Amino acid sequence: MPDLSPLDKAKFAAAKRAASFVEDGMRVGLGTGSTAAWLVKCLGEMVREEGLRITGVPTSARTAELARQVGVRVVSLDEAKWLDMTIDGADEVDGDLNLIKGGGGALLQEKIVATASDQMIVIADVSKQVETLGSFPLPVEVIPFGWQTTKVLVEEALIGMDVLGRDAGLRMDGDAPYVTDEGNHILDLHLNRIGNARQLSLVLNQIPGVVENGLFLDICDILVIGHGDGRVQVRDINEGSVEEGRLDFLETNNLFDDILD
């Protein structure tokens, strides 16, 4: 294992533990983001060294590219039709395993893939746990046509919501608007605190021009939290169980060297 920061160790520990849930022959949704990238690398190592046979359904073009690089067979969701599980990261997760996702810009495909799965496992470092969602800006994917009008409608809708902030900003990629894999834009809502996530999600998705929002409610089944010292906590909301463990970091050369960025 290369010389990792505590944060990278936490992400790797969560990803490594989550990879142990994957069994031969499974169809697995592959998330997007830095923690999910560790997971893809772990699965690639299992494919190469243990002969694991799985089919991966990526949630973004960059995840698909990484999966192919490490030897994971990739197909589309239409080809797979239904998945055994999806493993993905999160920007925030509360005590009920509700999430904010979309910091990496892939929330639409991530939500479609997650809901087409028998089980969703979320991997995260301990810093992503919060009492109440909302400190992380809530991403809302909108179509480019009339996005400024959509932004105004979103801001007006927020007036009646239980939130502390109401600023909405268009996500940029340099000097141009950020464009998702589906060709859409993203509004980041700086809400600070979301008092009623369920109500907010319903209201946002009724606004013309809004494609989907980054609130993932009642979707996550298992949360795997990694710590910088290698400790891992696995919480299963359906079983009502919490499991503690530890991953030993070994000084070995492996697939993970090139993922550090």
Q: Is 34 a known ligand-binding residue?
A: yes
Q: Is 41 a known ligand-binding residue?
A: no
Q: Which residue has the tokens 């070995």?
A: 252
Q: Is 51 a known ligand-binding residue?
A: no
Q: Among the options 110, 131, 182, 239, which is catalytic?
A: 110
Q: How far apart are CA 32 and CA 216, in angstroms?
A: 15
**184-206 CB burial, b ≥16 within 10 A, e <16:** bbbbbbbbeebeebeebbebbee
Q: Is 226 a known ligand-binding residue?
A: no
The Cβ-side half-sphere exposure at 50, using a 13 Å CA radius, reads: 14
Q: How far apart are CA 22 and CA 121, in angstroms?
A: 11
Q: How far apart are CA 246 and CA 104, in angstroms?
A: 28
Q: How far apart are CA 214 and CA 212, in angstroms?
A: 7
Q: Is 103 a known ligand-binding residue?
A: yes
92 among known catalytic residues: no
Q: Is 101 a known ligand-binding residue?
A: yes
Contact call for residues 28 and 116 (beta carbons, < 8 A): no
Q: Is 111 a known ligand-binding residue?
A: no
Q: Is 151 a known ligand-binding residue?
A: no
∠ CA 55-57-62 to the nearest 5 degrees? 120
Contact call for residues 91 and 101 (beta carbons, < 8 A): yes
Q: How far apart are CA 167 and CA 190, in angstroms?
A: 5
Q: Is 201 a known ligand-binding residue?
A: no
Mind telling me the catalytic residues? Answer: 110
Binding-site positions: 32-35, 88-91, 101-104, 128
Binding positions for substrate: 32-35, 88-91, 101-104, 128
